[in-house]
Structure 1
Amino acid sequence: MRLTNVAHLRLPFGRLLGYDVTLSRPGRELPISFDQRRHLRDGDRPGSWMALSFRLREPLPRDLLATAWLAVIERHGTLRSVFIPGADGEPRLHEVEVRPGAWVEHTIAPGQAVNDAVRDVLDRHCAPFDRPSHRLCVLETAAGPTIVIGADHAHVDMWSMLVIARDFLAALEAARSGTVAELPEAAAFAEHTLVLRGHDAAPPEVRQRWAEVIDGSGGVMPRFPLPLGSGGAQPERVEVRDVFDVADSDAFAERARGFGVSTLSLAVSAMTTATRDLAALPLRAVFPVHSRFDDTWYASVGWFITNSVLESADPDPAACAAAVREAVRLGSWPLEEVLEPWGGMPEAPGMFAISWLDLRRLPVRIDATSLEAQYVGATIRTDGVMLWFILDESGLHLRCRYPDTREAREHVGSWLDELVRLLQSAAHAERGTTAGP
């Protein structure tokens, strides 16, 4: 399944509608996680959301779509909660009851791209403090509807978007047959937040290792190793690069097995080499890891992603495998307590993050090919570099977001060129072919 940007999303032209649910007054207060609080610190702003789109193959009554969406909301507690700015400056999270509402048409202006119209709707309705901060959108065409579901990142991660799509499709199929979907309430993310608060404190060696990586990055979270230009946050540049088809993906995996490591570890080896050759520095990056530490949370929706740090100086695959294991361990402890010496996450311009998502290994699946399903990222301003690897049955592609400056185009572009060359060379070597020009 592709990870794309709303500006590049392939959408048909049709009537654009959104479903307005009805909310009760805020009820019971719920706990807020460290990462949610960090996200909310910047307040309402455009582009704080995540979305997923997919296409259905025949026209369907809107009431069936609404019924399916309400069933999803009923299953997942985080979709029945709202953030409220506190009088003391601290946000609050409260339960709400969600009831049926009404469809609203969003006008696509003359000359306006459909993508821009969808982006405007998600920017407006999926902001952190909107009530609710999620939205079901439908593009109606004669061939059938295209569904776009968005939610503020405080309530979802990429795994969660797959859960939402799967549950929506199950509820829709039940509604079409005149039955009620069997979607028992999933474990709520607020419960996970409470579990983490009761977690044991990180051992001294974990705190020490975090300190070493942050110190090696100049006292802040890891930054991209080459100049990105100055001037603060800039309009983003997004590149999507196809790295492997199925055959090359299989060859790369086989090469990794030959070294006794995972495909991720062999990819880290390539990134370590590219960083050493172009910047003469170790690879250091923020490394998101999921906190769904047992199957209690596999069917839940929430922000189950926390950050770790990855440091790799030796491109030997075994050394890179050890670096990956260390990053996973460093991310296995409550981040708020680990980062307390820095007063929270010590962010700085140029922060570099690497995300690896192997959709083949997730316990949640949809038929992404027939649905033409796509992950959708927002359009934002940025001063850092974010790299996503997406591995699925069709191969491997990567998406990279960076500030659109002359220096970033040159340096991030060169780093990506070298990284893709190294990855493809490893696959071609395994297949006994040459990498090409």
Structure 2
Amino acid sequence: MDAWAPRPGVVLQWLVRSDAEPVPSTVPPSFNQSAHLADVDDGSTWLAASFDVPGRLDTDALERSLERLVARHGSLRTGFVRSDAGPSRVDHPQGALTLRRRPDVAVQSVPEAHRVVRAALDTACAPFSAPAYTFLAIDRPDVSTVVCGFDHAHVDAYSLAVVIDDVRRGYLGEPETAPDPGDFVDYCAAESAGTPIDLADDRLRTWVDFLRAGDGAPPQFPLDLGVPHGRTDRCAVRVDALLTAREADTAETGCRADGASLYAGVLAAMAHAVRDLGGGATVPLLFPLHTRRSAAWRSSVGWFVTNAPLEVVTESDLRATIRSTGPAVRRAVALGEVPIARVVEAAGGLRRPRKDVFMVSYVDYRSAPGHDSLRSIDAHHISNVTVSDDAQFWISRTADGLALRSRFPDNPTARTTIEAFVAAVADHLALVAQPCEAALRFAVDTRTAADATVTVP
């Protein structure tokens, strides 16, 4: 949020409120939702999506589109309340939620627009508001901006792309391109009713061994961030372009020739960067995996994410590390099928010396709904500024190339460390992005196979 600079105009806001009392749900919060809602002392971890529309705002069209969004996605028709047993879910009946427009606010400067929008998001997206989200817009004569903000319990990062596409299409009167989405509450019900995985399952044993190797705690970033256990700093965020679109394509071809994905290639580059900076030759980490495994979930709003454990071991050179990391990532993906709640249970609990968990995420937004229009409408994913005591990284692939978003404690040591780390990662990736003989041979073989498929009867 600190990096977002909205132009001034007239700020409009809609709260979403129920005309009827919410009904206690028989479906418990998902594991992610429960963990999130149990740790809200430092304020809301909200996520927002913003995008532009041409000219003055058509408020009637926007309201219709927002009402359709709420009606379309089950996650947005739920809320959460505190109880002695922990957070529990409540449901709002279909049609009971309505938009309540607040008084408009004319703002005259970028800092004022930033302050007004941020204050609205902080208040309305409080985790135990029911529901915990809000819609805003900044009306201007030439280009207006729409902002949709949600507490994290309602959405994951991919959901923001779904929201942008749904709201934009509804606003412009365009038809939906995706089928009716599945209801995230049904997903949560299936998660809670799933058959427990047996303790003898190799996947569960691998998970438990991974945690026990860290003395029962999730992995931590292996370089000094200047934060002792028990302390948190205000978080800092930086976004760095790593590769252009053409370089990313070349790097991916090279990684495929080595039996790996581009994500594995970036992880290998990160491991070598850690070793260069004195962090050791092995980098244990967690990586988020989406769980949108059926068509019903691909156009749905919710928190469809689990995690998998991975150790990246640096070899004699970067390409050797890529060759070993590719299979390691594929093996780790299978571990993501084990529910995290079952992992914690089998491990006898989870020690949390830090608030944050060192993780490296990868999202290829080129497959997201409406991706082709995201640049032209100046779409943004905006996160709240909270606190941090570890490093977390999000790799994003778009039509523009490959970028790295880094979140870390805002102190001089961490800033120096992350700057050096990102620079080293970029240097190693530049080598991956250089065409090599194996990569070129792989590309030629792939084209030859494709041609043969077309021409041979």
CA contact (8 A) 1:253 1:262 kept: yes
CA contact (8 A) 1:83 1:91 kept: yes
Q: Select 1:334's aligned residue among 315, 330, 339.
A: 339
Identity %: 28
Structure 1 match to 2:302 = 302
Asked if 1:416 corresponds to 2:422, the answer is yes
TM-aligned CA distance change 1:33 to 1:344, over 3 Å: farther
Q: Give the superposition deviation at 1:147.
A: 0.6
373-382 or 98-107: bigger deviation: 98-107
Q: Give the superposition deviation at 1:246.
A: 1.9
Q: Give the superposition deviation at 1:93.
A: 0.9
Structure 2 match to 1:319 = 324
Structure 2 match to 1:371 = 377
Structure 2 match to 1:8 = 3
Structure 2 match to 1:357 = 363
Between the aligned partners of 2:431 and 2:380, the Cα distance in structure 1 is: 28
3-state SS of paired residue (1:339): helix
3-state SS of paired residue (1:130): coil
3-state SS of paired residue (1:428): coil
CA RMSD of aligned residues (A): 2.4
CA contact (8 A) 1:252 1:263 kept: yes
Q: How does 1:180-191 map to 2 (within 5 A)?
A: 186-191=181-186
CA contact (8 A) 1:162 1:366 kept: no
TM-aligned CA distance change 1:293 to 1:424, over 3 Å: same
Between the aligned partners of 2:155 and 2:297, the Cα distance in structure 1 is: 13
Q: Give the superposition deviation at 1:406.
A: 2.5
| TM-score normalised by L of structure 2 | 0.86
Between the aligned partners of 2:91 and 2:304, the Cα distance in structure 1 is: 19
| TM-score normalised by L of structure 1 | 0.90
Q: Give the superposition deviation at 1:407.
A: 2.2
Letter of the 1:326 partner, please give it: R
Structure 1 match to 2:446 = none
Between the aligned partners of 2:415 and 2:176, the Cα distance in structure 1 is: 49
CA contact (8 A) 1:199 1:334 kept: no
Q: Say how many residue pairs are matched.
A: 422
Between the aligned partners of 1:247 and 1:103, the Cα distance in structure 2 is: 46
Between the aligned partners of 2:361 and 2:176, the Cα distance in structure 1 is: 34
Between the aligned partners of 1:82 and 1:415, the Cα distance in structure 2 is: 40
Between the aligned partners of 1:250 and 1:85, the Cα distance in structure 2 is: 48
Q: Give the superposition deviation at 1:339.
A: 1.3
Between the aligned partners of 1:264 and 1:181, the Cα distance in structure 2 is: 31
Structure 2 match to 1:389 = 395
3-state SS of paired residue (1:32): coil
257-266 or 110-119: bigger deviation: 110-119
CA contact (8 A) 1:52 1:148 kept: yes
Asked if 1:227 corresponds to 2:233, the answer is no
TM-aligned CA distance change 1:34 to 1:132, over 3 Å: same
Q: Deviations over 1:374-414 (max 9, x none)?
A: 11111111111110111111111111010012321232322
273-282 or 304-313: bigger deviation: 273-282
Q: Select 1:31's aligned residue among 28, 32, 52.
A: 28
Structure 2 match to 1:434 = none
TM-aligned CA distance change 1:428 to 1:397, over 3 Å: same
Structure 1 match to 2:443 = none
| Gapped regions of structure 2 (runs ≥ 5) | 316-320, 438-457
Letter of the 2:248 partner, please give it: S
Q: Deviations over 1:205-251 (max 9, x none)?
A: 11221122222223200100012223511011211111111221122
Letter of the 1:427 partner, please give it: A
Structure 2 match to 1:93 = 89
Q: Give the superposition deviation at 1:75.
A: 0.3
